[in-house]
Structure 1
Amino acid sequence: MSKKMLNFQSDTPRNSRQTPRKKRTSAPVGEILQYTPPQLRENAAGIYVEFYAYDPSLMRMRRKTIKLNRVKGTLRRRQYAREIIGRLNNELQHGWNPWIEKDTGTMYLFEEAADRYETHLERMYEGGYFRKDTYAGYKSYLKILRHYIEKECPIRYVYQFDRRFCTDFLDYVFIIRGNGAQTRNNYLHFLRLFSTFLVEKSYLNSKPTECITPISKRLYKKERTSIPLEQIGKMGAYLRHADPDFLLACYLLYYCFIRPVEMTRLRISDINLAEGTITIPADASKNRTRQTVTAPHKVLLYALDRGLFDAPGDCFIFSEGLRPGRTQIDPKKFRDHWEKMRRALRFKKEWKFYSLKDTGITAMIDGKKLSNKAIRDQARHSSLAITDLYVDHGDGADADIAVLDGAL
């Protein structure tokens, strides 16, 4: 039917998204296909075709009129109206809905699609394709998305998961929840994966996230919270007596920059005493590549003193009680030990366990005994630009540069 020839009108705005979405109650998908047979109407306003069709955005039947005043002559209008009614009946019987621009064949319930995606995540995790932390992260993103739909912006059908919905959700994460730019980008990555799943399973014809871009890393500097070095010394003295096994974990984070989740996957055999190195296997590394870092003598001697190498090499470095063992622990164990120490020393709440890595990198740079390249390799950064984020670029003159007297 040519929209160019017809004048579509209704008693409500055509674009229902001009008004805020209202919370909806449960309704079967079959409601989308509900309609009344088109009828010819004649009154003082003229000749028109009228019918009702279910509008899923309003959860009720909505009146639709097609005026025929542009067709000259009463007989011609009536004839044209009969032709329109015939075509409308055929389209309505095949699922067409005037209030939905999308194909009604894809009008699936969003919650059903979300449940199917959650099952997909579980299968990927059980099959070993996802790590535990990756699986937990995706589940968390999905939980927040469902909370947003329930409390902030209710949608019922998959077709409503469109670009506008996605951008509104990202604004909710970034502005309302007050998360940082990196967190907003992480949610966008999740939405892209979810959109790909919906397209692959024929819930949608295209990805609603295709034109949504992440916030460029050039526009923000990653927030880093360093702990004053005098407090680091105070912490070390306390842990040597109060929690000596946790101190080893602090050493690995402060000197070797090994992430907490990676520590839980390391085994004693990953430490090479002769070479003075620690190898993070591909299946333990964040970026799934095998990497080696230098273990300072201080770290190795402390590990020897704690009897770490008395246990079999295939034992995890940190197991129950942060002692070597066969059971892999949750990274949360480190945070629990940190919180106990933080309260005892009355450290600031913003000083987290992971702050030791930022503090260690900054201390290496400020010490000026190592090149940025060496620090980059130790921190396993992909480029010097990332290492440079830890550098405090002062406004004053550099004393060493000020006294330079080169060959020229």
Structure 2
Amino acid sequence: MSTTQKSPKALLFVDYIPAELRENRRWEIIYYAIDPFETNPEKKLKRKRHRVKPMDNKTERRKLAKRIINNINSKLTQGWTPFLNEKNVKAFSRIFDVFEIFLNQTQQQYKKEVIRKDTLRSYRSYINNFKIFLNSIDKSEIFINDLTEEIYRDFLDDIFFERDNSATTHNNYLTFLRTFTRWLIKRKYLAVDISQNITKLKTGEKKRTIIPLEIRNSIFKELKKENFNYFILCYTAFYCLTRRTEITKLKVKDVFLKNGIISIPSEVSKNGKSQIVTIPTELLKYLVIHLRKANNEDYFFSENNFAPGPIQLKPKKISDTWVRFRKLMKFDSKYQWYSLKDTGITNYLQLGLPTIDVKNQARHHSIVQTEAYIPKKIMKAVGNIQSAKLDF
């Protein structure tokens, strides 16, 4: 429970006094919270202060203060108290600001020959991709104390599944996150290691989880009944082998129903190249329905319940919706949304389609990447080698 600002000594039965900004010579955010280690009931609530860093623009400084106040008050309503983490004095630093501090210190280490140039280059790349991911899930303005294990896991899933990278790449990113987290703890931005429970993947051949026909039919049948737009989105991933982030950026004008193709512009494509994918007839009939009232500038799938619309869909919503349906239908958690694309590639190869055609549909960088999807059970011995006699 909360109350208006009064003397804390008179408030013996409240849990906190909300944060407020005081613009004096030093701008400070003041609030009162429970100190669980205090035995004197007269001092149940103790004052906490957070300095608002100076900025040239007062309006922007007030906006920053407001975000910090909202963050503090939200935590206070849930029973949080800062006195459990007394030494964590930098918790309300903006994450993008902390990235810059980390990279600046890393740059200094390189100049002093503490780290190699390759390490500096790698750290910059990891941070840049982390920024892109945080922007994609609308978390670019969060504070360091909002950084969680869940965000780390979602980022690593994006690297491994969405970007179709190897287990080695996943593990390299995890190693970096652990390094970054230790740096945060040493410099009092975080109090606990949020990376410690995340384990590395086994390296080697990347495992593909294929959704069996019976389960796949059940999933599509249920999706078609419960959310037709989302069903079409999943069908598009299955048949056109489109990636999650790509789907959220595609617009109606990129779909050419008469030609039976979808154009993936360079600014949408993972590899930065404009490419074309074919729309199979089985999918085409549903896209005709999906796009019948859409405008060219609409997003192919939007925030409006996955229907075409003017507001861009967030990638995470695709995965979150899949998880909800998975729990509702109670099918195995190993079948993730990314499994639709893996299953589509594998099924095309099992049909005997030329590997080069499947490579182009999946937009893989090489034929070797596509061949990794070929099921061992459909591989056959080479006839002339099998019949060869080498005893001469």
Provide TM-score, normalisation by structure 1: 0.49
Q: CA deviation at 1:222?
A: 1.4
Matched, 1:230 2:214: yes
Residue type at the aligned position of 2:350: D
Identify the residue that residue 376 of structure 1 maps to in structure 2.
Answer: 359
Deviation at 1:324, TM superposition (A): 0.9
The verdict on how the C-alpha distance between 1:276 and 1:288 changes in structure 2, with shifts beyond 3 A counting, is same
**How far apart are residue 309 of structure 1 and its match?**
3.4
Which residue in the other structure is 2:68 paired with?
Answer: none
Are residues 1:391 and 2:374 paired? Answer: yes
Report what 2:240 is aligned to. Answer: 256
- Aligned equivalents of 2:167 and 2:177: distance in 1? 16
Mapping for residues 65-214 of structure 1, pairs under 5 Å? 116=97, 118-119=99-100, 132-133=132-133, 135=135, 180-187=167-174
Offset from partner CA, 1:255-286 (integer Å, 9 cap, x none): 10111111111100000122211011111112
> How far did 1:337 drift?
2.2
Cα gap change, 1:396 to 1:267, in 2 (>3 Å)? closer
How far, CA to CA, are the matches of 2:377 and 2:254 in structure 1?
39
User: Where does structure 2 lack aligned partners over 5 or more consecutive residues?
Assistant: 1-89, 103-123, 150-165, 181-199, 388-392
2:344 maps to a residue whose letter is G
The residue that corresponds to 1:246 in the other structure is 230
Provide the rounded CA distance (Å) in 2 between the counterparts of 1:251 and 1:244.
10
Alignment-derived partner of residue 211 in structure 1: none
Counterpart residue identity of residue 309, structure 1 = R
- Runs of 5+ in structure 1 lacking a partner? 1-109, 149-178, 195-214
Count of residue pairs brought into register by the alignment: 237
Give CA deviations for 1:82-138 in whole Å, capped at 9, x if unaligned: xxxxxxxxxxxxxxxxxxxxxxxxxxxx999x97552589xx9xxx99984275699
Amino acid corresponding to residue 235 of structure 2 in structure 1: Y
Tell me the C-alpha RMSD between the 2 structures.
4.4
1:340, CA displacement in angstroms? Answer: 2.6
Letter in 2 for 1:373: I
Report if aligned partners of 2:167, 2:204 keep a CA contact under 8 Å in 1: no
SS at match of 1:349: coil
- Equivalent residue for 2:263? 279
Question: Alpha-carbon deviations, 1:167-204, whole Å to 9, x = none?
Answer: xxxxxxxxxxxx94331133567899x9xxxxxxxxxx
- State the distance in 2 between where 1:134 and 1:342 align: 25
Query: How has the CA–CA distance of structure 1 residues 248 and 332 changed in structure 2, closer, same or farther, with 3 Å as cutoff?
Result: same
Match of 2:254 in 1: 270
CA distance in 2 between partners of 1:256 and 1:395 (Å): 23
Aligned 8 A contact 2:211 2:335 in 1: yes
Structure 2 residue aligned with 1:361, among 345, 348, 370?
A: 345
- Aligned CA distance change for structure 1 residues 285 and 332 (closer, same or farther; 3 Å): same
Aligned positions of 1:4-83 closer than 5 A = none
Distance 1:396 1:255 in 2: 23
**Is the Cα contact below 8 Å between 1:268 and 1:309 reproduced in 2?**
no
Structure 1 residue 345 corresponds to structure 2 residue 329 = yes
How far apart, in 2, do the equivalents of 1:338 and 1:256 lie? 18
Per-residue CA distance 1:196-252 (angstroms, 9 max, x = gap):
xxxxxxxxxxxxxxxxxxx9x9x6111221111221112122222121111111111
* Larger Rg belongs to: 1
SS in 2 for 1:278: strand
| Residues 345 and 373, structure 2, Cα contact 8 Å, conserved in 1 | yes
CA gap of 1:350–1:395, structure 2 versus 1, over 3 A, is: closer
Q: Of 308, 331, 340, which residue of structure 1 is paired with 2:315?
A: 331
Structure-2 change in CA distance of 1:225 and 1:288 (3 Å): same
CA separation of 1:277 and 1:351: change in aligned 2, threshold 3 A = same
3-state SS in 2 of match to 1:292: strand
Matched to 1:133, the amino acid is F
- Alpha-carbon distance in 2 for matches of 1:188, 1:391: 31
| 2:376 counterpart SS class | coil
Q: How far has the Cα of 1:396 moved from its partner?
A: 8.3
CA contact (8 A) 2:265 2:273 kept: yes
Partner letter of residue 383 of structure 1? S
Cα pair 1:255 1:296 within 8 Å, conserved: yes
Instruction: Tell me if structure 1 keeps the 8 A contact 2:208–2:339.
Output: yes
Contact 2:350 / 2:378 at 8 angstroms: preserved in 1?
no
Once residues 96 and 329 of structure 2 are traced to their aligned partners in structure 1, the CA distance between those partners, rounded to angstroms, is 45
